[in-house]
Structure 1
Amino acid sequence: VFDSLNTTYANFKSNFAKRLSAEGPVASSPITTRWQQSQTRDLSAYSLGEEPSTVDLPESSGSVLKITSEKDTLTPGSFNEPLKTPIKGSSETLNSAPCFCKATCAVDRGWKENDSSKGQKCLNQPSVTQKVFQQLNGKMQLCERSQCVWKGCRNGVREESFYFKRFNDVKYSKTQPEVKIHLTGLRNDYYLNILDWSLQNLVAIALGSAVYIWNGEDHDRIENIDLGSTCNYVSSVSWMKDGACLAVGTSEGEVQLWDVVTKKRLRNMLGHLSVVGALSWNHCILSSGSRLGRVYHHDVRAAQHHVGTLCHKQAVCSLKWSPDGRLLSSGCSDGLLSLWSHDPGASTKSQPLKVIPQSTAVKAMDWCPWQSTVLAVGGGMEDGCLHMLDLNARTSIQTPSTNSQICSLIWLPKTKEIATGQGIPKNDVTLWTCPTLSRSGGFFGHTGRVLHLALSPDQTQVLSAAADGTASVWKCY
């Protein structure tokens, strides 16, 4: 077996040439560059559906999704089941079109892998028969409960329905989500950040190689940006605070800026050699992190956009600028949480202000909106705890283990709570009071891990997107 970690360049080059001549995979390459990725698209990817890489990504284990033809939809599979990634130019199709359901929706907890042939589509959802790079003709539209045959959107028992429950409510009342959304094509990848809600009340979510955008107030005027001709899939999205500019990271290592009003690409910023899984804005500085451990600072106003570089040893899972813009926190798959000063001209030799080791990959992470030195971090499967760090006081509070993977995290300023999206066994969104970090409620109903959370600009609604191909908008205040 070729050792991808302890090899000389000569041996690598010789082995790589033999593999190319035999039309074999290049997954053993120490570095997955963009030109190497084009060779690997004709092959089945790893269980995550990611580009081959030698970085250690332990937190990606868990339920995976099987992507089938337009007659089928996303189906939860077993833990060890590989995820086949459709390839450009192939005859397979990936129907990446979300649709909404206004009515109360119940989830069928009896999903089985062999039920995928029965279909879980919405009747209003158009079929897509084009090849993968032409996959995004589907429309995003409302579907009524009486017409919808999607599994999990049929009438069911109340205990199996999607609901929100406050633990401290004496009356034990339950409220249903305001909107239910079907997401076909959502990647079950722990390391991506593909959901964001802007201050202009626009929601963006990446499904396959397209970004779907709609109005978060009335969930209308659905648009999509198609990147299918330039990338395999979109790996991260982030709204600029002012205006309708959306930053998009791709599996090919590109960082693109889009004007969502005109649906025109403003610029394409190259530099990364692998998947761009994390983006974060600090005014006009956009920071991007890749699977190869590089964090690049881009000044979007300048022609020479690359103004700084930071280095990790393994994949960058998350990036967050503090509310005052003075500190950048970066989470890595090796379990290191690093804090960096505001220095756009940083070189690769720059050292972080502080490194806080964690027991698992640091992906779920966010700064407190009302205390700029307080940082919340969610632990992975080996940890399962929510940590709240006060950098000024040098104190740390943590919850007891949740016995699940914390995949996403946001603050709720109106209620002074933290919401965490979690994996098995409950696949729920848990609410925690601050600063005591005691459970106060939760959103229930997802059958896959809750990979992404987003907060509305008025701070009254939470959008949760899960690996089961569903998303829900919840009233949180």
Structure 2
Amino acid sequence: MDAPLTRGPAMKWQRKGSETDSTVPSSISVNSSQSKTPMKGLVKPSNQAKTPSNRSGSKTPSTGGKSKTPGTLGKSRTPGTKGPKTPGGDRFIPHRGSMQFDLGHFKIMNEGKDNNQEMQSPSQQEYKRVMNENLNGEAMDNKIISYKQKAPSAPEGYYNNMRVLYSTCKSPANTKKTTRHIPQVPERILDAPDILDDYYLNLLDWSASGLLAVCLGGSVYLWNASSGGITQLLQMEGQDDYIGAVSWIKEGHYLAVGTSLGDVQIWDAAQQKRLRTMPSHAARVGSMSWNSYILSSGSRSGNIHHHDVRVANHHVSTLAGHTQEVCGLKWSPDGRYLASGGNDNLLNIWSAESGQNSSDCQPLYSFNQHQAAVKGVAWCPWQPNLLASGGGTADRTIRFWNCSMGTCLNTIDTKSQVCSILWSKDYKELVSSHGFAQNQLIIWKYPTMTKVAELTGHTARVLHMAMSPDGSTVVSAGADETLRLWKCFAVDEQKKKTKSTTKDKSTELQTRAMIR
């Protein structure tokens, strides 16, 4: 084992020595060697052997002849090609600039092909012409990457332009946002103990002055949205008596209250004083709506009474179009139509002149498409003759009506009981509250009726809704005895129309005189 090796590969130091002892005259080309193994790198001519060739029988390895050792100078060609030998190196390495890949691909794909124009189709000729212009620089205006405009100069005070960042992707000033953020959680939650879980009542309304009226059993409470103060307006005397509906007049502090005794009361919220009581119904009052000085009230008997609050004999007409309780009642914004929904699954449209005499007590239109009680009724604020109505558990649909033509425009299945509907004042959207089985609020885009957002949080059916005076906030009242305020329709203050800060005192005084 200690004897020297007589066979086997040369030692590393011997191979290294053979490289340094190589004797290749500088006048002879590098490619004139006979090496068949390509080099793995370029070797400068200065690194060629400086020691004379040892051609004797010395034990020092010689590089004469063909060398198979990697890294030695020898006869080499460019790998994979059959072209002429490349002087100055073992292979040709092209310049791989970042902008040359497309040009190289084009040349490779077209190399060796027949360039005869007659043999090519017109589409191929056009393709080659466009590629030549784009890749060979014949059309300088069609650069792949180029600056359309020069970067602006640095602002005053900056000495180094490289420190200033410029952006050419600024959005135009008149660009409108396609979507807006709608909070998925309520802005505020208020307790509403003892609120009645009754689908046919209307126990919530928001005044133009910012007072929210809430009926809790036999009491009516006022919540001031600006200050957060709570005031009890009234309390029924009987233990079993309760409030069935509340409705604010459009201007002023006057609140109409319908009771389980069948009478309608008018209250001055500013003075917390009852102005008058108007008995006329034989059953409880569950819905009311104002049209200037006319207050319309719907009863469990199915009748609708018009009250003129200016005169002592307030009961001026009766509309008998329902056989069961009237649970939805709304006047149109222009005061021309009155929509009434009942537990008999009917939706009736009345004109403002209906009921003035005995021969004119029939509705203009009576729609029976709903399959359950119609409580949710709402008029479109920007199209006075457009009405939206919603049905109960067995129906679950929202229908849109053209009350000028008496036709149904659209129907959408909400998959839940529809309890209330409100239109937005600033967006072409509406919000609906639902009961069984989702217990949520849904914001719809009109007229496509695509869902904009779903607001969840109530643990029981959402029976009532009301909108703030500015139209940005919706308050919902649920059978879980909570009130939740949702910021559904927030408007950008810069785009919002400016409102007058002065109140119309003449309108206020006129309304006060009508009530008295």
Normalising TM by the smaller chain, what interval?
Answer: 0.5 to 0.7
Aligned equivalent of 2:167: none
Q: Distance in 2 between matches of 1:435 and 1:411?
A: 12
Asked whether the equivalents of residues 458 and 480 of structure 2 are also in contact (C-alpha less than 8 Å), the reply is: yes
Q: Distance in 2 between matches of 1:189 and 1:458?
A: 29
Matches within 5 A, 1:153-232: 174-229=183-238, 232=241
Q: Distance in 1 between matches of 2:329 and 2:391?
A: 16
Aligned equivalent of 2:54: none
Q: Aligned-pair RMSD on alpha carbons?
A: 2.0
Aligned equivalent of 1:330: 340
User: TM (normalized to structure 1)?
Assistant: 0.62
Asked whether the equivalents of residues 294 and 310 of structure 1 are also in contact (C-alpha less than 8 Å), the reply is: yes
Q: What are the ranges of 5 or more consecutive residues in structure 1 without an aligned counterpart?
A: 1-167
| SS state at 1:222 partner | strand
Amino acid at match of 1:251: S
In structure 2, which of residues 276, 291, 299 is the aligned counterpart of residue 282 of structure 1?
A: 291
Q: Distance in 1 between matches of 2:323 and 2:233?
A: 35
Moved over 6 A (4+): none
Matches within 5 A, 1:240-251: 240-251=249-260
Aligned equivalent of 1:320: 330
Asked whether the equivalents of residues 398 and 437 of structure 1 are also in contact (C-alpha less than 8 Å), the reply is: no
Residue 351 (1) aligns with residue 362 (2): yes
Asked whether the equivalents of residues 205 and 211 of structure 1 are also in contact (C-alpha less than 8 Å), the reply is: yes
Q: Distance in 2 between matches of 1:473 and 1:450?
A: 12
Q: Distance in 1 between matches of 2:183 and 2:328?
A: 33
In structure 2, which of residues 466, 483, 505 is the aligned counterpart of residue 471 of structure 1?
A: 483
Q: Distance in 2 between matches of 1:240 and 1:344?
A: 21
Structure with bigger strand share is 1
**Structure 1 residues 383 and 354: alpha-carbon distance in aligned structure 2, compared to 1, 3 A threshold:** same
Amino acid at match of 1:362: V
Give how far 1:174 is off: 4.8
Give how far 1:438 is off: 1.3
Matches within 5 A, 1:249-288: 249-288=258-297
Asked whether the equivalents of residues 195 and 453 of structure 1 are also in contact (C-alpha less than 8 Å), the reply is: yes
Q: Distance in 2 between matches of 1:226 and 1:238?
A: 17
Q: Distance in 1 between matches of 2:240 and 2:435?
A: 29
Residue 392 (1) aligns with residue 404 (2): yes
Q: Deviations over 1:70-107 (max 9, x none)?
A: xxxxxxxxxxxxxxxxxxxxxxxxxxxxxxxxxxxxxx
Q: What are the ranges of 5 or more consecutive residues in structure 2 without an aligned counterpart?
A: 1-177, 491-516
Asked whether the equivalents of residues 205 and 246 of structure 2 are also in contact (C-alpha less than 8 Å), the reply is: yes
Q: Distance in 2 between matches of 1:409 and 1:346?
A: 30
User: TM (normalized to structure 2)?
Assistant: 0.57
Asked whether the equivalents of residues 184 and 455 of structure 2 are also in contact (C-alpha less than 8 Å), the reply is: no
Give how far 1:454 is off: 0.4
Q: Distance in 2 between matches of 1:207 and 1:407?
A: 18
Give how far 1:447 is off: 0.7
Give how far 1:231 is off: 6.6
Give how far 1:395 is off: 4.5
Aligned equivalent of 2:421: 409
Amino acid at match of 1:351: Q
Q: Deviations over 1:164-219 (max 9, x none)?
A: xxxx979x985431110111101000000110001111100100011011212332
In structure 2, which of residues 247, 250, 260 is the aligned counterpart of residue 238 of structure 1?
A: 247
Aligned equivalent of 2:140: none
Q: Deviations over 1:458-477 (max 9, x none)?
A: 00000010011111111112
Q: Distance in 2 between matches of 1:340 and 1:373?
A: 12
In structure 2, which of residues 435, 447, 452 is the aligned counterpart of residue 440 of structure 1?
A: 452
Q: Distance in 1 between matches of 2:445 and 2:262?
A: 38
Give how far 1:345 is off: 5.1
Amino acid at match of 2:427: T
Provide the aligned length of Structure 1 versus Structure 2. Answer: 309
Aligned equivalent of 1:459: 471
Asked whether the equivalents of residues 231 and 252 of structure 1 are also in contact (C-alpha less than 8 Å), the reply is: no
Give how far 1:238 is off: 0.2
In structure 1, which of residues 378, 395, 413 is the aligned counterpart of residue 390 of structure 2?
A: 378
| SS state at 1:262 partner | coil
Q: Distance in 2 between matches of 1:425 and 1:229?
A: 35
In structure 2, which of residues 309, 327, 332 is the aligned counterpart of residue 300 of structure 1?
A: 309
Percent identity of paired positions between Structure 1 and Structure 2 = 45
Asked whether the equivalents of residues 182 and 487 of structure 2 are also in contact (C-alpha less than 8 Å), the reply is: no
| SS state at 2:246 partner | strand
**Structure 1 residues 377 and 254: alpha-carbon distance in aligned structure 2, compared to 1, 3 A threshold:** same
Give how far 1:223 is off: 3.3
Asked whether the equivalents of residues 417 and 437 of structure 2 are also in contact (C-alpha less than 8 Å), the reply is: no
Q: Which moved more, 1:449-458 or 1:381-390?
A: 381-390
Give how far 1:347 is off: 4.4
Structure with bigger helix share is 2
Residue 341 (1) aligns with residue 359 (2): no
Asked whether the equivalents of residues 185 and 457 of structure 2 are also in contact (C-alpha less than 8 Å), the reply is: no
Q: Distance in 2 between matches of 1:408 and 1:339?
A: 18
Asked whether the equivalents of residues 197 and 204 of structure 1 are also in contact (C-alpha less than 8 Å), the reply is: yes
Aligned equivalent of 1:427: 439
Give how far 1:265 is off: 0.8
Q: Deviations over 1:388-435 (max 9, x none)?
A: 112235543444422210011111121221111101222000011111
In structure 2, which of residues 354, 370, 375 is the aligned counterpart of residue 363 of structure 1?
A: 375
Larger RCO (alpha carbons 8 Å, 6+ apart):
1
Q: Distance in 2 between matches of 1:337 and 1:295?
A: 13
Aligned equivalent of 1:85: none
